[in-house]
Amino acid sequence: MPFHLVVPAAGSGSRLGGEPKQFRLLGGVPVLIRTIEAFLSVRGFEGVVIAAHAGQVGRTAEMLRSFFGDGSFEIVAGGDTRQESVRRALDAVPDASELVLIHDAVRPFVTNDLVESIVDLAKRRGAACPAVPVADTLRRVLDNEFGETIDRRNLWQVQTPQAFRLEAIRASHEWAARTGLIVTDDVELYQRHVGPVVCVEGDRRNFKITDAGDWELAEILVSGGKTT
Ligand code: CTP
Ligand code: MG
């Protein structure tokens, strides 16, 4: 089924520090380019809308042009939150497009198989999202002291791409903007405004590059496992 991709890439990467992580080179290729490349060969891919920081729209366009030529990408100025960046990008998706996938710019290791299963399920069930079961013991920490242990059964870590019917996710964002609700992902908006989302078992390699440890792991993965 044809789909459009939305990539929020307007963050500042404060936890990793330095150059915003979507522009950093991983094995010589910017993270954002690697992430978009992961979708290009998926059946049904029709185009991508990227939300870049308002001051980096020109730079992002130039970078994309140098890798993909004048292909089917569009860039919009993002907002102060991920949610606002996604909302603005959704506005730029062609109205005729039925299905939209929303994927973090900083998850470059997403596989073709995972994207295809998300597309397939969203087509049949309206909305789908990958997640992986929590593996470690979960415990609250306050002032460096352990508190309550949280039962991890049924707890999953949520990933992207998250797939929805374009009209439904746009309506969810408009509703949230009207009510002033700000949440961390699109599944939550959809669940609150439209209904249930199907969970697909994701892939631990599809992690979000967030801090220095994630960056080191990403470098090891692109180098084929060589650490020197
Ligand atoms: N993002 C965005 N607009 C924002 C904030 C985040 O488009 N105002 C994007 C990021 O570029 C990233 C994705 O949302 O692709 C996930 O966000 P996160 O990992 O939190 O990235 P940053 O916000 O850049 O990092 P940090 O929170 O450490 O500052
Ligand atoms: Mg952030």
pLDDT mean over 131-135: 97
Pocket test for ligand 1, best of 6, 12, 185, 186 (most atoms within 8 A of CB): 12
| pLDDT (tens digit per residue) in 151-179 | 999 999 999 999 999 999 999 999 999 99
51 CB under 6 A from ligand 1?
yes
Distance 13 CA to ligand 2 centre (A): 7
Distance 98 CA to ligand 2 centre (A): 28
pLDDT at 226 over 90: no
Distance 18 CA to ligand 1 centre (A): 14
pLDDT mean over 100-104: 98
pLDDT value for 23: 97
The reply to whether the predicted model has a pTM over 0.85 is yes
pLDDT value for 225: 74
19 CB under 6 A from ligand 1?
no
pLDDT at 227 over 80: no
pLDDT value for 70: 83
85 CB under 6 A from ligand 1?
yes
8 CB under 6 A from ligand 1?
yes
List, as own/partner pairs, every contact residues 221-228 make where C-beta atoms lie below 8 angstroms and the sequence separation is at least 24, other chains included: 221/109, 222/26, 222/27, 222/34, 223/27
pLDDT above 90 coverage of the chain, percent: 96
Distance 170 CA to ligand 2 centre (A): 21
pLDDT at 72 over 80: no
Domains and CATH numbers, the chain: 3-222 (3.90.550.10)
Distances (CA, A) of 204 to 52, 138, 179, 217: 26, 18, 34, 12
Distance 43 CA to ligand 2 centre (A): 30
pLDDT value for 207: 98
13 CB under 6 A from ligand 1?
yes
Distance 62 CA to ligand 2 centre (A): 24
15 CB under 6 A from ligand 1?
yes
* Cα 70 from chain centroid (whole Å): 23
pLDDT mean over 27-34: 98
pLDDT value for 123: 96
211 CB under 6 A from ligand 1?
no
CB contact burial 87-118 (16+ within 10 A = b; e otherwise): bbbbeebeeeeebbbbbbbbbbbbeeebbebb
pLDDT mean over 112-126: 97
pLDDT mean over 58-85: 94
